[in-house]
Amino acid sequence: MWYDNNPDPSLEKVIKKLIRRNEPIFLFRYGYGEIPLPQGYYWRVMEELDEKMRVYQLEVEK
């Protein structure tokens, strides 16, 4: 799934639906710009998987 600097409301709706169903979400980022997130969510670095790779998990803010 590609998520760029031009947020797509339909993509945001799909992401929220997948999170509610506990489905994994994979995004590819190319470059150094910030990725806009759906409101109420944030990226958490999953250091427990591999310290050499930067793997992020989309989580709901509490």
Q: Has this prediction a pTM greater than 0.75? A: no
Whole-angstrom distance, CA of residue 37 vs CA of residue 58: 9
Whole-angstrom distance, CA of residue 41 vs CA of residue 48: 20
Residue-wise pLDDT for 13-56, tens only, equals: 877 777 777 766 666 565 666 667 778 888 888 877 666 667 77
Enter the tokens of residue 35: 């990725």
The domain limits of the chain are: 9-60
At residue 59, φ and ψ (nearest 5 deg) are -130, 160
